[in-house]
Amino acid sequence: MKTIRALLPVVVLLAACSNPTGQSNAQSVSNGPVPDMPQPTRRVPADAAAMKLSFSPVVKKAAPAVVNVASRRVVQRRVDPFWDFFMGGNGQGGSQVQGSLGSGAIVRADGVIITNHHNIDGMSDITVQLADRREFPAVVLLDDPRADLAVLKIDTKGEKLPVMAIDDQDQMEVGDLVLALGNPFGVGQTVTNGIVSALARTDVGAANFGSYIQTDAAINPGNSGGPLVDMDGDLVGINTFIISRSGSSSGVGFAIPAAVVRQVVSAALGGGHSVVRPWLGVKGQPVTGDIAKSIGMAAPRGVLVAQVYPGSSADKAGLKEGDVILSIDGRPVNDEGGGAFAIGTHKVGDRVPMQVHRGDKEQTLTVRAEAAPETPAKDERTLAGNNPFNGATVINLSPAAAQDLDVDPFAGKGVLVTKIAPGYAQNWMRPGDFVRSVNGKTINSAADLASVAATKPARWAVTIERGGQLIQAQF
């Protein structure tokens, strides 16, 4: 569980009617872009007979492509040596099996499946159970923790499986009917219905890249990784977490949009082991009513730019501090997360229009989507020896590394602690710390820190930065 804010309930990861027979607007995974489709006609039921219509045709189309995903790993239990001695143990503890149960959807007939990253995170054995109850071992083609998605593959021996088409045409509207399919609490395949409660939720979630679909369709632990489908039976999202006081559904569930699903699946089918997403290179804050008045805007909207990373896509497009980003590629942007999502779902190299408020007028800039730079090189090192950093793994901070680790790329040049292994460092350091100086010497790189750590001074004076606060330590 993860607390979003002090006043909010907890986020719970869920590991654990138009004509449904008509033409689908979705794209198959193997096809390229399709022309813009006409918007469907939306209407409320006209009479009691219309209210008795069934979702059964939609379920019959979608359910065969929904799977259960079970994963497990064997871990060693930690045992208190003192207690173990008096209980006659051997001091080695014992093994324990940890498991996870979730859902998924078949997106290609040869056995390619999409599910959540947190369903398989750290697991060694993954089993997929089809709707007909047959079971297959699965391998991971691509794992994308940043979006909380994973692509699995099972060997079907040439058999073609039922497939769920991915609908990423951005035609969802608040109030649209949706169904959630999955395996809640391990009871077996289950279908619930609801509506789209909200779109483009960027200020919630356990993943650091997302613009979620909110729904009131009942989803519970075990639904995680299962599809959210529209009335054509096409995948419009992957159910991933809920906000709840009890841990069970309270009508506030969230799904990863199909556009992100397609991006991850396409990367996996292209042979990639990670997803390269464009990076805007902007730090800003939502425009409040007071800010809007101070800069002459009629209403509060957009993101006020506080910093532009030198050499980033935004910098090359001509964005300046004090500008207000209103939209990217026609999508309204109201916080940093929304901007990151709007540019991040494009391909590297795309030219994307960005509407900006500058001075007393609006103008359009063109952003060329580029990946976050990997400068300086990561140079990952695990430090050893008789020094305060023994056991710490450190890297040089770059925008690419910051993006992967969910760290502020504007934190400045420096050396970032990423992991702590047994050693002296575990007594006082934490992942996310920056090492700023040692014995009066400014530390600008992992090589600088390794060089200083190899010396043998009579005393150590170390300055680190943690959560924006400088901490000085003496050894």
- Average pLDDT on 177-202 reads 92
Of the candidates 466, 461, 454, 425, the residue with the CA atom closest to the CA atom of residue 440: 461
Look at the domain 282-368 and name its fold.
Pdz3 Domain (2.30.42)
**C-alpha of 278 from chain center:** 15
**CA angle (225, 228, 230) in 5-degree steps:** 160
Query: In angstroms, rounded to a whole number, what is the distance separating the alpha carbons of residues 310 and 138?
Result: 43
Rounded to two decimals, the pTM is: 0.80
Residue 256, exposed/middle/buried by CB under 10 A (0-12, 13-18, 19+)? buried
Q: Comparing 282-368 with 381-474, is the CATH topology the same?
A: yes
Q: Which residue has the higher pLDDT, 445 or 209?
A: 445
Counting Cα atoms < 13 Å in the Cβ hemisphere of 372 gives 27
> Quick check: is 224 catalytic?
yes
Q: Where are the domains of the chain?
A: 64-154, 282-368, 381-474
H or E stretch including 326? strand 324-328
**pLDDT tens, 389-433?**
999 999 999 999 988 887 888 887 789 999 999 999 999 999 999
Query: In angstroms, rounded to a whole number, what is the distance separating the alpha carbons of residues 461 and 222?
Result: 50
> Quick check: is 132 catalytic?
no
Reading the block at residue 68, the tokens are: 């259960």
> Quick check: is 312 catalytic?
no
Which of 118, 230, 327, 445 is flagged as catalytic? 118
Residue 17 pLDDT class (50, 70, 90 cuts) = very low
The percentage of residues in the chain with a pLDDT greater than 70, rounded to a whole number, is 85
**Architecture category of domain 381-474 in CATH:** Roll (2.30)
Of the candidates 440, 437, 431, 439, the residue with the CA atom closest to the CA atom of residue 466: 431
Which of 144, 148, 216, 448 is flagged as catalytic? 148
Query: In angstroms, rounded to a whole number, what is the distance separating the alpha carbons of residues 33 and 11?
Result: 35
Residue 87, pLDDT score? 53
Average pLDDT, the chain: 86
Reading the block at residue 265, the tokens are: 């699946």
- Average pLDDT on 107-120 reads 96
Q: What are phi and psi of 289, to 5 degrees?
A: -60, -40
Report whether CATH 2.40.10.10 matches the domain 64-154. Answer: yes
Residue 265 pLDDT class (50, 70, 90 cuts) = very high
Full DSSP string of 206-251: SSSS--EEEE-S---TT-TTPEEE-TTS-EEEEEEEEEESSSS--S
Are 103 and 66 contacting, i.e. CB atoms less than 8 angstroms apart?
A: yes
Which of 71, 211, 224, 327 is flagged as catalytic? 224
Q: What are phi and psi of 175, to 5 degrees?
A: 105, -15
Longest distance between any two alpha carbons in the chain, whole Å: 87
